[in-house]
Amino acid sequence: MRILLQFPEGLKQKALEQAKRYESEGHEVIVSASPTFGACDLAIDEARSVKADKIVHFGHNEFHKVDFDVEYVPYAIDAPLTLLDNSLDVLGPYQRISIMTTVQHIHQLKQITEFYEKKGKTVVLGKPYGFAKERGQILGCDIGSASTVDRDVDAHVYFGGGLFHPLGAVLATTKPFFVIEPFQNTIKQIDGLRDTYKKKSRGKILSSLRAKNFGILVSTKNGQHNMNLGCIIKAKIEKAGLNAAILVANTFDFTSLDNMLEFDAFVNTACPRIAIDDATRTRAPILSANELMELLQMKVEQQISKRL
């Protein structure tokens, strides 16, 4: 069988080792070298171009159904649990806690839950919206495991590396939020980020108030593609008397967007994290669909007050 191997950035270092393994099993192997950000980003076009029969996608579990044979190989990482003891100091005042993690550590969630329950806590595991598959699992775009239990808990705890995943969850919740980072050996409270990002969002909207020309980002990635939303947004912008064009790419390159000098602002329909994490990487702001709606409303109010 001809197989296309696909690795997220953190696992690309394993490409040759895995290629050799599949070859030793009698397969013909080709490795995708394209950037890969999630299981939303399957290299189906590449697989078809090289006439592969199947994609083996490492590091993630299934995101949604596609019309191509894909085998998902999640990559479990055993993170040290030594910080759990220390976390009891900061979690002292909170009786009911939600715990969440990424697919890499989901196999450790039972052990983590049991630890806190033995220490007298009540642990609540939320349910993802659907892109993540297991209770307590979060993705950058599926923070259901945090938001669906926000009203039932006194605090949230994220266990895992980096800020990318907990950032989405902290912005979608209202309770104290702690990050246990087993690789950096740190425990941080990050709910202060809610205000920071609220201000950043307000700043983007205000800086787009004079915008007349909007570029709407529509990705061709299988799990991000949303042409319908792109068309709805375009119609809304044009109804407001402004100009819009749909811009399509697989991975958006911020330098290329910057070269599109006619656009005063961009509106994101692709990975929702682009409008949060990458919003200021371009000359013109990148708005989410909700931020665009706020902006259009403000423009209407401005016009009304000018007429009065």
Q: For residue 17, which amino acid is it?
A: E
User: Does 138 help bind ligand SF4 (rule: CB under 6 A)?
Assistant: no
Q: Residue 163 or residue 296: which is nearer to ligand SF4 going by CB?
A: 163
User: Phi and psi for 128 in degrees, rounded to 5?
Assistant: -65, 160
Query: How many Å apart are CA 275 and CA 278, to the nearest integer?
Result: 6
Q: Residue 86 or residue 228: which is nearer to ligand SF4 going by CB?
A: 228
Q: Residue 99 or residue 271: which is nearer to ligand SF4 going by CB?
A: 271
Q: β-strands 122-124, 155-159: how paired?
A: unpaired
User: Does 105 help bind ligand SF4 (rule: CB under 6 A)?
Assistant: no
Taking the complex as a whole, how short is the minimal distance between the CB of residue 41 and ligand SF4, in angstroms? 6
User: Does 161 help bind ligand SF4 (rule: CB under 6 A)?
Assistant: no
The first and second tokens of residue 137, run together, are 């699992």
Taking the complex as a whole, how short is the minimal distance between the CB of residue 244 and ligand SF4, in angstroms? 23
Considering only residues 22, 37, 68, 197, which one is a binding residue for ligand SF4 as defined by CB under 6 A?
Answer: 37
Q: Is 296 exposed, middle or buried (CB count within 10 Å of its CB: 0-12, 13-18, 19+)?
A: middle
- C-alpha distances out from residue 274 to 2, 80, 104, Å: 34, 31, 22
Q: Which residues of 109-133 are buried (b: 16+ CB within 10 A; e: fewer)?
A: beebbebbeeeebebbbbebeebbb
Considering only 37-45, 119-127, 251-259, 279-287, which stretch makes contact with ligand SF4 by CB under 6 A? 37-45
User: Does 6 help bind ligand SF4 (rule: CB under 6 A)?
Assistant: no
The first and second tokens of residue 69, run together, are 């044979």
Q: Residue 63 or residue 115: which is nearer to ligand SF4 going by CB?
A: 63
User: Does 160 help bind ligand SF4 (rule: CB under 6 A)?
Assistant: no
Taking the complex as a whole, how short is the minimal distance between the CB of residue 272 and ligand SF4, in angstroms? 7
Taking the complex as a whole, how short is the minimal distance between the CB of residue 60 and ligand SF4, in angstroms? 7
Sign of CA dihedral 9, 11, 12, 13: positive
Sign of CA dihedral 287, 246, 278, 167: positive
The DSSP code for 121 is: P
Vertex 266 angle, CA 260 and 267, to 5° = 145
Taking the complex as a whole, how short is the minimal distance between the CB of residue 268 and ligand SF4, in angstroms? 11
Q: Are 6 and 70 in contact (CB under 8 A)?
A: no
Q: Residue 116 or residue 158: which is nearer to ligand SF4 going by CB?
A: 158
- In the region spanning residues 66 to 95, those forming contacts with ligand SF4, defined by CB under 6 A, are none
Considering only residues 40, 138, 180, 267, which one is a binding residue for ligand SF4 as defined by CB under 6 A?
Answer: 40
Q: Residue 61 or residue 243: which is nearer to ligand SF4 going by CB?
A: 61
Total residues at interface with ligand SF4 (CB under 6 A): 11
Query: How many Å apart are CA 131 and CA 149, to the nearest integer?
Result: 17
Taking the complex as a whole, how short is the minimal distance between the CB of residue 129 and ligand SF4, in angstroms? 11
Taking the complex as a whole, how short is the minimal distance between the CB of residue 265 and ligand SF4, in angstroms? 21
Each residue 188-227 as x (binds ligand SF4 by CB under 6 A) or -, in order, gives -----------------------------------xx---
Considering only 134-142, 153-161, 207-215, 282-290, which stretch makes contact with ligand SF4 by CB under 6 A? 134-142
- C-alpha distances out from residue 147 to 126, 143, 177, Å: 8, 6, 12
Residue 195, Cβ neighbours under 10 Å: how many?
9
Which residues of the chain form contacts with ligand SF4 (CB under 6 A)?
37-38, 40-41, 139-141, 223-224, 271, 273
